[in-house]
Amino acid sequence: MAFELDEVHEDFRAAVRRFTDERIRPVVVESESQGHPPEGLWKEMGAAGLLGLLTPAEFGGSAGEGGENTAVTVLAEELARACGGIAVGALVSAYMAGPHLVRHGTPQQRQDWVERIATGTAIASIAVTEPGAGSDVAGITTKAVRTETGWRIDGRKMYITNAGIADVLVIGARTEATGHRGITTFVVPADTPGLSVGQPLRKLGWHSSDTREVVLDGVEVPADAVLGAENRGFYQIMAAFQLERVVLAAMGLGHAAEALTMVTEYVKGREVAGAPLTHLQTIRHRIAAAEVELEAARALTYQAADRLDRDHPEAGRSVAAAKYFAAKVADHVVDEALQLFGGAGYLEETPIVRHERDVRILRIGGGTDEIQLEILSKRLIP
């Protein structure tokens, strides 16, 4: 594998960085305050081609030329440099919920939703996690029971990103009593009777991301609401987890890179005993060590993305390694940067505080550190 991005992806990175600097950074404070990005930002992102990287051209996207997972990884890294909450909302809609419709949707489901998600005129959410079932997807208890006209869904979902602003939800429900093979996914418009959402959850970080409980109380959907194959939802969800985990690793890269940029500039201008902090070897070495950790995490993350693009037999292992290592590195690097900011790093108006809040979830969401280590350890100790 080449550990450097090709020209196409480097050009894409430059384009995403320009968009981030010009259109996202100016609305971060507003988004953090109101709990979600400005409505118009979704359409701007869609018009810029940022939401259709996995979408076929016939539906307004750009997929088909290869390297799509790597492009999504670049996007996630660059968006997170500005704001994790804004980044995750867009990434969940276009690259965690949306791909289920692209890959498994019927012609009608794809016609109804895929282009709208890619252009930012509709927002998608995926509702799998429950109060008692997080990383253990097979443990979900939300039930879908067959009726004369389709299905009735009952249950509760928790920690659902975009739940309060979504137009459509991909919902995982149990259609057989137990086991991995008893789960089916459904396409459910947000205005379906019986589907409701709770108040926005107050979170440590991701303040720009709308996150809520979803309640399904006798939600009636037609037979053609099934997304993909009946009783195959677990496998569809787990396959989609691969890119989700790389995306979260890449967000960690973005947080760490931004933290290093900010703290490097800060210590250059900060004087102690009449000399810049950079004159102190311990400061220079801490920043250099953090940069090495970041580069190692970046190599693992982009290797994982590349292996997904090439359907490499070791892609799953690479994804678990990248998710585990990049999230841990990002958590450490951002914390190191905050430490070097000193007292200023503890003030809300200092952006490093937002990165400190936002980076912590990356070791939990999409499969915890422990889940990734379990995946990796099974190769060593069956």
Task: Report helix angle 315-341 to 351-359, nearest 10.
Answer: 150
Tokens of 338: 């905050």
**Amino acid (one-letter) located at 25:** R
Q: Is the pLDDT of residue 223 over 70?
A: yes
The residue with tokens 């409505």 is 39
Cα 218 versus chain centre, distance: 30
Q: What kind and span of H or E run contains 276? A: strand 275-276
- Give CA angle at 366 (382, 146), nearest 5°: 95
pLDDT of residue 4: 84
DSSP readout, 103-123? Answer: HH--HHHHHHHHHHHHTTSS-
DSSP assignment letter at 130: B
pLDDT at 2: 54
Q: How confident is the model at residue 3 (pLDDT cuts 50, 70, 90)?
A: low
pLDDT per position as a tens digit, 316-346: 999 999 999 999 999 999 999 999 999 999 9
Average pLDDT over residues 158-183: 92
d(CA 244, CA 249): 9
Decide if pLDDT at 180 tops 90.
Answer: no
Angle between helical axes of 315-341 and 369-380 (0-180°, round to 10): 140
The reported pTM is: 0.96
Give me the active site residues, please. Answer: 244
* Beta-strand runs (E) in 97-253: 124-127, 143-146, 150-161, 168-174, 183-189, 195-197, 211-222, 226-227
